[in-house]
Structure 1
Amino acid sequence: MRRLRITHVLLLTAGLAGPGALVACSSDDPAGVQAPSPTIAPPTSPVTSAPVSASPPDDSTASVPTTPASRTPAPKPTTEFVPQPGYDRSAFTRSTAVTNKWFPLRPGMRMTFRGQTIEDGEVIKHAVTFIVTDLTKVIDGVRNVAVWERDYSDGVLEEAELAYFAQADNGDVWHFGQYPEVYEEGKLVESPAWIHGVKGARAGITVKANPVVGGPSYSQGWGPAVGWSDRAKTYRTNQRTCVAAGCFTGVLVTDEYSQDEPGAHQLKYYAPGVGNVRVGFYGNDPTKETLELTSARMMSAADRAEARAEALKLERSAYRHSKDVYGRTAPLR
């Protein structure tokens, strides 16, 4: 499990109304924004309705306990970390229509998340911009939606990434791989790509269509060459949470973890019809990452064209720096 990347953040459909509708903030510049308060566990009691707010209430109104230690599970056995069974490329007949209520992907949507991490004992501001492009890529015969993400630490670009998602006919959204570029002082230092079907990598499920508390965990992708072993399980349903963008009810909370970080857990809050609106943690997660949705908007035609150009530029870099993995994929179109 890594710091939150594109593969874990989700989006908002336009035209929402009623409880859970989004109120966009006035700015989506990733630099210079105060981090939100950490959230380390989902609410303990379901709430059926809540007003929409442009700013989060005091933590006490969000019904978030201060520690979930009593519910911390034991580290998962190594045998759990295997590729997701049940993949069938023939089950993706309308793969780019990603309409899963927990993880909707609408081309042209730009979302901004802000929060913080702990690095070497220091609190670091963290921001993510997440754009659903109008580009697609075929992987193993399945056409995927391409998402372009940028990850900032203290206002400095730390990572740019392309990630690929497709929806199966049963509504589950699958993650087929990603190409990240990690930068230090503006220079590329690594690009640990994994793509389904290359070097033993296998697609996994990002979010299920019908999550059930107590159900089995599921792989979110398997990339043994780069140590990608993330898994998730349904942690809570019908919850309430408030973030800078608004208050949401009927929220799904998932618990994510990986083989390389036993005992560390990330909690992802998914609002119905919206997507991921908050990230928290529990256990011995050293980064203690938190993020919350602060703004979402449909981009203009000019902005979409610019995002498309930047995604294609990143792909050209991917073909140069990841010839043995990304280089085996068909071009974006």
Structure 2
Amino acid sequence: MLQPHERITALGSALMLFLMTSILASCAAPNAAPDTTTGAPASASPAGTPTASETSSPAVSPTPTPSGPELCGPGSAIAYDPAAFQSTPKIDNKWFPLTAGMQYTTTGTVTNAEGTTERTVIHSVTGLTKVINGVKTQVLWDQDLADGELVESELAFFAQTESGAVWLFGEYPEEFEGGEFIGAPNTFISGISEAEAGIAMRVEPRIDTPSYVQAHAPAVGLLDCGDVVQEHEKVCVPTGCYDDVLVIDEHNPLEPGVGHMRKFYSAGTGLVRVTAVGGDNQETLDLVKAEQLSGAQLDFVNQEALKLDQHAYEVSTSDYAKTAPAEVAAETSGG
């Protein structure tokens, strides 16, 4: 997995590390509506009661956890309830839309003491789904290239609550060096090895709301923290000028040398720019292309993502191998 100043997936992959010892001892009431301010779903069924989606996953059956450590500061306790998510993923949050067959390309540079690297990241929304921790997720395939050479190929898994919050359920990032596969040491899957899903995008992101956990995987030392820092910004990139842009800060407080990442989201489009604040690496990525793939192109994307999914069972035998295989849900692109 790329470092926080390099990740644009998930949140993305990519994608912190901030641990506080305060604990919020609050519980959500059964059948309570999801919190539309933070995007955290409240408990919709008694703790320990399995749902239909829970029984479809070979992973350990999840239970709602409406309270826990405030990992990214006051008000950031993860409140995960599998019953709050859609039975079939349809991610149409206006800031984070993921429609099967859409492909987004961002380009830019990363500059550090060693020089400047040209970077290209291709985000392909596949037609695949995968059940993780009791929830059927949408599969995103990211390809990260440095000076034209593939350095990472990643699957990321997202799902949306009925109220509209998008959550990240895990990442499988294969790393390459000199064109050769060197491993996937930063794999994490929600519900396995104490990893937890986190909020990729709130329902109504605002600057006056608390920071939130985007992903938590202690086995790989991961804790992504997000915070809305600007609203109603105007940003111009090669694909055009966007008004009413939302800016989210992602950071790694336990590694201050890494600095912060700023992600710029436009309503209806999604991510349009990434910049770095502080740290040793200065990075800028801009959206240069957003296109709807043809049916044949989507089929190719699906097949490549399935190969990655299958390879993951050989590589990540302790975590990924405990999940159900990805399945093709859409073989042709939408309109």
TM-score with structure 1 setting the length: 0.77
Deviation at 1:227? 1.8
**Letter of the aligned partner of 2:274 in structure 1?**
V
The answer to whether residue 71 in structure 2 is matched with residue 81 in structure 1 is yes
Cα offsets for 1:157-190 (capped at 9, x unmatched): 0000000000011211000001000111122223
SS of the residue aligned with 1:314?
A: helix
Partners in 1 of 2:314 and 2:289 — Cα distance?
A: 34
Deviation at 1:119? 4.1
Match of 2:9 in 1: 6
Per the alignment, do residues 139 and 207 of structure 1 end up closer, same or farther by CA in structure 2, a change over 3 Å counting? same
Cα offsets for 1:3-50 (capped at 9, x unmatched): 12421379xxxxxxxxxxxxxxxxxxxxxxxxxxxxxxxxxxxxxxxx
Partners in 1 of 2:106 and 2:311 — Cα distance?
A: 26
- Same amino acid, percent of matched pairs: 38
Partners in 2 of 1:84 and 1:102 — Cα distance?
A: 22
More strand per residue: 2
The answer to whether residue 241 in structure 2 is matched with residue 247 in structure 1 is yes
Deviation at 1:84? 4.5
Q: Contact 1:229–1:259 at 8 Å: present in 2 too?
A: no
Match of 1:286 in 2: 280
SS of the residue aligned with 2:222?
A: coil
The answer to whether residue 205 in structure 2 is matched with residue 215 in structure 1 is no
Cα offsets for 1:82-115 (capped at 9, x unmatched): 6842111100034511010100000000110001
TM-score with structure 2 setting the length: 0.76
Cα offsets for 1:48-97 (capped at 9, x unmatched): xxxxxxxxxxxxxxxxxxxxxxxxxxx96644536842111100034511
Cα offsets for 1:115-146 (capped at 9, x unmatched): 11124431100100010000000112210000
Partners in 1 of 2:204 and 2:178 — Cα distance?
A: 43
The answer to whether residue 129 in structure 2 is matched with residue 158 in structure 1 is no
Match of 1:106 in 2: 99
4+ runs deviating over 2 angstroms = 75-84, 118-121, 259-263
Spell out the pairing of 1:1-333 with structure 2 (5 A cutoff): 1-8=4-11, 78-79=20-21, 81=71, 84-94=77-87, 96-191=89-184, 192-262=186-256, 264-282=259-277, 284-333=278-327
Match of 1:34 in 2: none
Partners in 2 of 1:275 and 1:220 — Cα distance?
A: 16
Partners in 1 of 2:288 and 2:11 — Cα distance?
A: 16
**Letter of the aligned partner of 1:226 in structure 2?**
V
Q: Contact 1:84–1:221 at 8 Å: present in 2 too?
A: no
Per the alignment, do residues 228 and 243 of structure 1 end up closer, same or farther by CA in structure 2, a change over 3 Å counting? same
Residues 152-161 or 206-215, more deviating: 206-215
Q: Contact 1:129–1:150 at 8 Å: present in 2 too?
A: yes
SS of the residue aligned with 1:289?
A: strand
**Letter of the aligned partner of 2:82 in structure 1?**
R
Q: How many residue pairs get matched?
A: 268
Give the alignment's Cα RMSD to 1 decimal. Answer: 1.9
SS of the residue aligned with 1:229?
A: strand
Does 1 or 2 have the higher relative contact order (CA < 8 Å, sep 6+)?
1
**Letter of the aligned partner of 2:272 in structure 1?**
V
**Letter of the aligned partner of 2:247 in structure 1?**
V
Per the alignment, do residues 224 and 95 of structure 1 end up closer, same or farther by CA in structure 2, a change over 3 Å counting? farther
Per the alignment, do residues 119 and 323 of structure 1 end up closer, same or farther by CA in structure 2, a change over 3 Å counting? farther
Structure 1 stretches lacking a partner, 5+ long:
11-74
Partners in 2 of 1:226 and 1:116 — Cα distance?
A: 27
SS of the residue aligned with 1:170?
A: coil
Per the alignment, do residues 2 and 330 of structure 1 end up closer, same or farther by CA in structure 2, a change over 3 Å counting? farther
Match of 1:48 in 2: none
Deviation at 1:281? 1.9
Partners in 1 of 2:194 and 2:103 — Cα distance?
A: 32
Partners in 2 of 1:309 and 1:227 — Cα distance?
A: 31
